[in-house]
Structures are given as C-alpha cells and as structure tokens.
Amino acid sequence: MEERIISRRNPPGSDSPYSRAVVYGGLVFVSGQVSLDPDTGAFRPGAFAEEAERSLRNLRAALEDAGSSMEKVLKTTVFLADMRDFPTFNEIYRRHFPKDRPARSCIAAKELPFGAKVEIEAVAAV
C-alpha cells in the first residue's frame, strides 16, 4: 500500500513536524484541526462557537483535499478546553454530521495548541 501525504492547500508552508492528513489503505487520517485561517495559516481565536465552526470547516477541507468527505468519516476525536462547551459543540457538530454520525470520543484537554478552545481529528474512508 502506498502512503499519500496531504499538506495545506492555501496557507504558506509550515515547519510543524506533522502532516495535515495521511491517506493509507483506503483511509484518511486527519490531524487535529483548530481555528486556523485557511488563507493565512494563522490561528483565529474567537468565541467557542466560532472556533468550533472553523475547526469543522478545516476538517471538511482536509478531507476533500484527500479525496474524502464528511459523509465518509468513520471516527472523530474531539478535544475541548472546557467541557462546559460540550452542549454547544453538540449543536454545531449535528449541523456538520446531520445523519449517519461517526463514532466519536470527546476529551477534556487542559491545554490545546495556540490556546484553542477546540481541536478535532478524524479517520475517514477515501
């Protein structure tokens, strides 16, 4: 099986020691997505709902770049800086996964990159 690395689409290259996503064996493994601006690659802090929406849009873009889609997501892992945001996250998540929702874990994280409020990773079929 051949591995295919998916790098950022629009932002300037990053020197971070990871890939945005990796396609292998009919699956795509998407690294954690936070509230990065797709045009600049800069972190865009905001209210929890704004960061969650942007993180899910970034997840969608990474999946599409890998030849997949939100409809093919098998598993997500969600990291929340504050579990009090869990109900709000569920509302937003339902809009992005309206039916046939993937398996999911949601973990409280003491600290996320850039001080983000939410980070989302996924495994999907290609």
pLDDT in tens, 4-52: 898 865 444 456 788 899 999 999 999 999 999 988 889 999 999 999 9
Determine the topology of domain 4-125 in CATH: 60s Ribosomal Protein L30; Chain: A; (3.30.1330)
pLDDT in tens, 43-54: 999 999 999 999
pLDDT at res. 14: 56
Structure-block tokens of residue 32: 């954690």
The residue ranges of every structural domain in the chain are 4-125
Segment (H or E) for 24: strand 21-24
pLDDT at res. 43: 94
Q: If you average pLDDT over residues 68-79, what whole number do you get?
A: 98
CA dist 28 and 15 (Å) reads 21
Edge-to-edge strand list for the sheet holding 118-125 = 4-6, 21-24, 27-33, 118-125, 73-80, 103-108
